[in-house]
Structure 1
Amino acid sequence: MPSPVAVPIVLTDDEREQLLAWSRRPSSAQALAARSRIVLACAEHPADTNVQVADRLGVSRNMIHKWRNRFASHRLDGLVDEPRPGRPRTIADADVERVITATLETSPKDATHWSTRSMAAHVGLSQTAISRIWRAFGLQPHRQDTWKLSKDPQFIDKVRDVVGLYLNPPERAVVLCVDEKSQIQALDRTAPILPMMPGTPERATHDYVRAGTSSLYAALNLATGKVIGSLHARTRAIEFKKFLVTLDQQVPAGLDVHVVLDNASTHKTPAIKRWLTAHPRFVLHFTPTSSSWLNLVERWFAELTTKKLQRGTHRSVRELNTDIRQWIETWNDDPKPYVWTKTADQILDSIARYCGRINDSGH
């Protein structure tokens, strides 16, 4: 059964200008911005079907059909959410826009970010109203996340190499995710830790005594989830070479060894290159710079930190090393392999979308 003919969209100059403002302005609601982009795309390519427009924008055909028809029937008013049943709104659209614009595009004179109290005093609304507006638009000025994009000129090739290894590991080979967790501190609290009681959490002093540091080399087996660990006082090329020897001894001789690791200088010294030449079954796969998230052993390090090191107390480096070795043994008794699911194309598309968002944000 042939699909119905899409309603043609012809925009006036005023409508086009308003739609562009809604789609680009940082203070616009995301839903309204998405609807504006749909109408603009329909007007820009009048011969395209709803399916073609949906593929171009990465949304469903039903969404294109809905907002194309709504605009054709009600023009710009059709893109605004219809009123819902309940108590009438007491805050005007202009007040909401003023709050969102001020939140996204300004900052107070005496702070780095707005609070509900400071914003309420700034715009003349109640603190409760500011809180409701921020929740509705997903704004949290008190929070700050971290981010970093790799500048590696071989970023795409390295992502495809490592992800391809995760999703389609070679036959008769072992894939090991390798990295070092350096400068693990042996810390002891200055007073005994008070145990948890009903209504009271475990309590520890904020200050501590340092007893030295240790460094852990770890290799996570992609298939089994088991970990080969080796503790050292330092993380030089000498220690890394010793760890490679350990891996060579523990991996069966008939298997190739594909190693995923970062770009640390200790992994590329002449001594390491000579050792790799003498052991051709070892193949190194380097992750892009500033992309530790691509190495699965980092996820295992996070488990070690949160479950053992973060709240642990150790009076000496020897005690710390013993604790880490026991934890690795316990892990290997019931290993849980991490399963990589995203393809390289999905990762690269996600990064491209993020770059597009931060470029359009005006920063």
Structure 2
Amino acid sequence: MAEHYRLPVSTETIRRVLREAGITWQATKTWKASRDPDFAAKMARILDLYDAPPADRRVICVDEFGPLNLQPRPGRGWFRKGQPTRRPPTPAPLGCGRCSAALDLASGQLFYRFRDRKRWREFLDFCRQLHRRFPTGRLYLVCDNYGAHQKAEVLTWRADHGIELVFTPSNASWLNWIECEFTALRYFTLDGSDYPSHAAQETAIARYIRWANRHATPKRRFAVNSKIRRPDYLPNVA
């Protein structure tokens, strides 16, 4: 019969062992991998536009930010110890807003428009707005595979106006550079908020975007030296 021994180990010893092994306390996260059969080709196309954008053309990342429903949102802030702000329970739905947004990589600036819905008509109208803002040269619009983006009316219009829609692989929204801007936008305008109206919420979002645009710089070096640049990054790509 095997003998059992009790080996007392201090907390400091455990700390040193874990540190030497490179083990840290981290949160578990979920990840929905892309099964797009053309994943590698689509990713390479987008990264090529990010790394070497055409000199006489513009690369713009487009997506919808939202849904912008009215509800108390959790967040962090500076408060006296033990006296954080308390939010009321989530109220009955009071409608839901949407925000179409675009990130111009050449300037690093964001452009936006608030809408009640996000159908193909709203997307096409936003594309027209971008075309009016950048009337010369070809536009490359990086966007996801949402059905409204691939509507026949949208595809016909963009073909007639020198615009190319560059679609991210399915379940790979992280390849759209604007998602990084959405993270900051959500942190500074939505986290810890409890807006009384959609107008107040939209005012806060618009104010942040104006501030960000005043401090914007051209977007370069997307995920440099990151493992996500490997074509085999997602092992279960079909």
Q: Aligned-pair distance for 1:148?
A: 3.0
Structure 1: unaligned runs, 5 residues or longer: 1-122, 190-194, 357-363
Name the CA distance, whole Å, in 2 between partners of 1:138 and 1:178.
39
Corresponding residue number in structure 1 for 2:190:
309
Structure 1 position 265, deviation (Å): 0.9
139 and 298 in structure 1: CA distance in 2 versus 1, 3 angstrom threshold? same
Alpha-carbon deviation of 1:201?
5.8
Q: How much does 1:292 deviate? A: 1.0
Work out the percentage of aligned pairs sharing the same amino acid: 27
Match 2:128 to one of 240, 245, 266: 245
SS at match of 1:283: strand
Q: Output the CA distance in 2 between the equivalents of 1:351 and 1:126.
A: 45
| 1:133-186, Cα deviation, whole Å (9 max, x unpaired) | 555544568742222321111111111110000010002111100011231122
Q: Deviations over 1:236-278 (max 9, x none)?
A: 1111111111111111x22211111111111111111121122
Q: How far 1:345 moved relative to its partner?
A: 10
Tell me the amino acid that sits aligned with residue 223 of structure 1: A
Q: Root-mean-square deviation (CA), in Å?
A: 3.0
- Number of aligned pairs? 226
Which residue of 177, 184, 189 corresponds with 1:296? 177
Counterpart Cα distance in 2 of 1:232 and 1:183: 11
Contact 1:188 1:315 in 2 (8 A): no
Question: Compared with structure 1, are the counterparts of its residues 215 and 136 closer, same or farther at alpha carbon in structure 2 (3 Å cutoff)?
Answer: same
Mapped partners of 1:286, 1:303: distance in 2: 23
Q: Note closer, same or farther for the CA distance 1:294–1:124 as it changes in structure 2 (3 Å cut).
A: farther
1:349/1:312 Cα in 2 relative to 1: closer, same or farther (>3 Å)? same
> How has the CA–CA distance of structure 1 residues 337 and 206 changed in structure 2, closer, same or farther, with 3 Å as cutoff?
farther
Say whether residues 1:216 and 2:216 are aligned partners. no
Shift of the 257–350 alpha-carbon distance from structure 1 to 2, 3 Å rule, reads: closer
Q: Does 1:173 align with 2:173?
A: no
Corresponding letter in the other structure for 1:266: A
Residues in 2 aligned to 1:126 and 1:234: alpha-carbon distance in whole angstroms: 63
Does the aligned pair in 1 maintain the 2:142–2:168 contact within 8 Å? yes
Contact 1:263–1:287, Cα closer than 8 Å, also in 2: yes
Change beyond 3 A, Cα 1:196–1:152: closer
1:274 maps to: 156
Query: When the two structures are superposed, what TM-score results if normalisation uses the length of structure 1?
Result: 0.55
Between Structure 1 and Structure 2, which shows a larger proportion of helix residues? 1
Q: Which amino acid aligns with 2:205?
A: I
The within-5 A match list for 1:148-159 is 148-159=32-43
Relative contact order (alpha carbons < 8 A, sep ≥ 6): 1 or 2 greater? Answer: 2
- TM-score under structure 2 length normalisation: 0.81
- 5+ unaligned residues in a row in structure 2: which ranges? none
Do the aligned residues in 1 keep the contact of 2:87 with 2:194 (CA within 8 Å)? no
CA distance in 2, matches of 1:234, 1:261: 17
State the SS of the aligned residue for 2:95: strand
Secondary structure of the structure 1 residue equivalent to 2:196: coil
Could you list the per-position Cα deviations for residues 296-340 of structure 1 after superposition, in whole angstroms to 9, with x for gaps in the alignment? Answer: 100000011011111222111222222222222222222244432
1:318 aligns with 2:202: no
1:56-90 Cα deviation digits (max 9, x unpaired) = xxxxxxxxxxxxxxxxxxxxxxxxxxxxxxxxxxx
| Match among 199, 204, 216 for residue 335 of structure 1 | 216
In structure 2, which of residues 59, 64, 71 is the aligned counterpart of residue 187 of structure 1?
A: 71
Partners of 1:339 and 1:142 in 2: how far apart?
Answer: 29
* Contact 2:79/2:85 (<8 A) preserved: no
